[in-house]
């Protein structure tokens, strides 16, 4: 595991971190605009997936480039840098699992609504409100 | 700049353009294909970050499984063509885009920009290999892993229930 040892780097690493975070923010905002604007529920789901992926990218950027002052060392942890990188990747794995379950159930709900009403338009689905 | 920066710029431009395509295309099929491109470029960005296993699972789970599910639903709902009436987005467009840009500018200036001035550690390239992830997944994170498997089981049962004719 020698290759896992972290190396402290200068401003170049911080610039890469900021670049990845800005890309994640841009993708998240584009996805959010799509969720608000589009009326087709399938496309709204796609935009939610895009937002989840933007968050995954942010997690991985923080797993690779770790700001030193926010890393909290836990007791008995030989190298908090490695455990921080691992926990970032684990979060991405669990977000992927949750997204897969969410898409299966959500598309099932859209299919059921389509069978019931024969049209899909988010603005017309207000049965629960009335 | 780091060595991966030119690759990052190309991938970032492609992913942002395909994300805009997901939102802007009228046809859901074009949105879906544009989303496939976005997922692929994100997988390449994960490779650029050194997270190899997650890049592979991004291609398999998102660009493979989830997008097939989306395309099947589009096919079954007959949403393939252009929408019948133009989307009534006018009044929402004027609210959504300025508010989103304002929130993005706030996060960019208050949270992301200060990162330029903090000391940052870079972890070695080997942190994303299966050899590094496997032990962590099955020791420290074994209970979240099991809970995720239960969640996927619930998702399977729920989608079967929803797909039945009567419930």
Burial class (CB in 10 A: 0-12, 13-18, 19+), B4: middle
User: Per-residue pLDDT averaged across B78-89, rounded?
Assistant: 56
**Chain B residues near residue A9 by CB distance under 8 angstroms:** 120-122
pLDDT at residue B89, as a whole number: 55
Q: Judge whether residue B56 has pLDDT over 80.
A: yes
Q: Judge whether residue A97 has pLDDT over 60.
A: yes
| Helix and strand element counts for chain A (H, E) | 3, 2
Which of A28, A37, A54, A59 has its CA nearest to residue B103?
A28
Q: What CATH architecture is B5-128?
A: Up-down Bundle (1.20)
Query: Domain boundaries in chain B?
Result: 5-128, 129-167
Q: Judge whether residue B7 has pLDDT over 50.
A: yes
The domain made up of A10-124 has a fold known as Helix Hairpins (1.10.287)
Residue A92 CA to residue B144 CA, distance in Å, equals 12
Q: Judge whether residue B53 has pLDDT over 80.
A: yes
**Chain B residues near residue A105 by CB distance under 8 angstroms:** 155, 158-159, 162
Q: Count CB pairs under 8 A between chains A and B.
A: 272
Indicate yes or no: CB of A68 within 8 angstroms of CB of B125. Answer: no
pLDDT at residue A102, as a whole number: 93
φ, ψ of residue A49 to 5 degrees: the values are -60, -40
Write the DSSP symbol of residue B121. Answer: E
pLDDT at residue B150, as a whole number: 96
Nearest to A36 among B15, B96, B161 (CB): B96
Q: Give A14 to chain B, closest Cα distance, Å.
A: 5
Contact A72, B121 (CB under 8 A): no
Choice among A34-48, B72-86, B95-109 with the minimum mean pLDDT: B72-86
Residue A121's pLDDT band (cuts 50, 70, 90) = confident
List residues bridging with A8 in a β-sheet.
Answer: B121
Residues 6+ apart with CB under 8 A from A85: A4, A63, A64, A66, B123, B127
Nearest to A49 among B66, B159, B161 (CB): B66
Indicate yes or no: CB of B127 within 8 angstroms of CB of A11. Answer: no
Query: Domain boundaries in chain A?
Result: 10-124
Residue B39 CA to residue B67 CA, distance in Å, equals 10
Contact B86, A23 (CB under 8 A): no
pLDDT at residue A9, as a whole number: 67
Residue A100's pLDDT band (cuts 50, 70, 90) = very high
Distances from the Cα of B85 to the Cα of A28, A36, A39, A40, B26, angstroms: 28, 18, 11, 12, 11
- Is the Cβ of A121 closer than 8 Å to some Cβ of chain B? no
User: Per-residue pLDDT averaged across B96-123, rounded?
Assistant: 89
pLDDT at residue A25, as a whole number: 96
């Amino acid at each position: 595991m020698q290759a896992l040892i972290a190396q402290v780097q200068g401003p170049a690493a911080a610039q890469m971190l900021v670049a990845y975070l800005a890309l994640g923010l841009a993708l998240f905002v584009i996805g959010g605009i799509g969720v608000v604007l589009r009326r087709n529920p399938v496309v709204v789901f796609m935009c939610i997936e895009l937002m989840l992926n933007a968050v995954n990218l942010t997690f991985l950027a923080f797993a690779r480039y770790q700001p030193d002052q926010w890393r909290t060392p836990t007791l008995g942890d030989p190298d908090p840098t490695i455990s921080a990188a691992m926990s970032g990747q684990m979060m991405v794995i669990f977000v992927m699992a949750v997204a897969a379950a969410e898409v299966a159930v959500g598309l099932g709900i859209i299919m059921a609504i389509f069978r019931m009403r024969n049209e899909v338009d988010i603005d017309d689905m207000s049965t629960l409100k009335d | 700049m780091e060595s991966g920066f030119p690759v990052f710029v190309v991938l970032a431009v492609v992913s942002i353009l395909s994300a805009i395509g997901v939102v802007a295309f009228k046809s859901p099929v074009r949105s879906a294909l544009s989303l496939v491109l976005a997922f692929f470029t994100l997988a390449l960005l994960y490779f650029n970050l050194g997270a190899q296993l997650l890049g592979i699972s991004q291609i398999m789970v998102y660009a493979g499984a989830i997008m097939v599910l989306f395309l099947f639903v589009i096919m079954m709902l007959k949403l393939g063509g252009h929408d019948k009436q133009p989307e009534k987005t006018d009044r929402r467009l004027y609210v959504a885009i300025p508010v989103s840009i304002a929130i993005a500018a706030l996060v960019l200036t208050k949270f992301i920009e200060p990162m330029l001035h903090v000391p940052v550690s870079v972890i070695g390239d080997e942190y994303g290999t299966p050899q590094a992830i496997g032990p962590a997944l099955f020791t420290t994170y074994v209970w979240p892993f099991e809970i995720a498997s239960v969640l996927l089981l619930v998702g399977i049962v729920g989608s079967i229930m929803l797909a039945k004719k009567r419930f």
